């Protein structure tokens, strides 16, 4: 019999994309609208998402981070 802890630490490998668990960077304006309206928005890496989960629990998307770090100051809105 497995315990709850065993189930939480099990790694699931999938190629379907259903387990994409990264925090993505969105424009503040789009993010505010998504939280209010529940609409799908596009991250700076191109990933389309409806942000509904606690993003602080996931690692940052490497592509988003690279793009964000390459932006000139003032363009990060």
Cα–Cα distance for residue pair 70/58, rounded to 1 Å: 22
| Cα–Cα distance list, 16 to 33, 39, 73 (Å) | 28, 23, 36
pLDDT of 33-46, one tens digit each? 888 888 899 999 99
Q: What is the pTM of this model?
A: 0.62
Q: Are 41 and 26 in contact (CB under 8 A)?
A: yes
CB 23 within 8 A of CB 31: no
Positions in the chain whose pLDDT score sits under 70: 1-20, 74-77
The DSSP H or E segment spanning 68 is: helix 62-70
CB atoms within 10 A of CB 75: 8
């Amino acid at each position: 019999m497995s315990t709850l802890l065993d189930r939480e630490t099990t790694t699931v490998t999938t190629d379907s994309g259903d387990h994409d668990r990264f925090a993505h960077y969105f424009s503040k304006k789009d993010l505010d609208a998504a939280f209010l309206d529940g609409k799908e928005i596009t991250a700076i890496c191109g990933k389309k998402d409806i942000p509904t989960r606690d993003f602080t629990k996931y690692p940052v998307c490497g592509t988003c981070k690279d793009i964000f770090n390459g932006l000139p100051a003032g363009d990060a809105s």
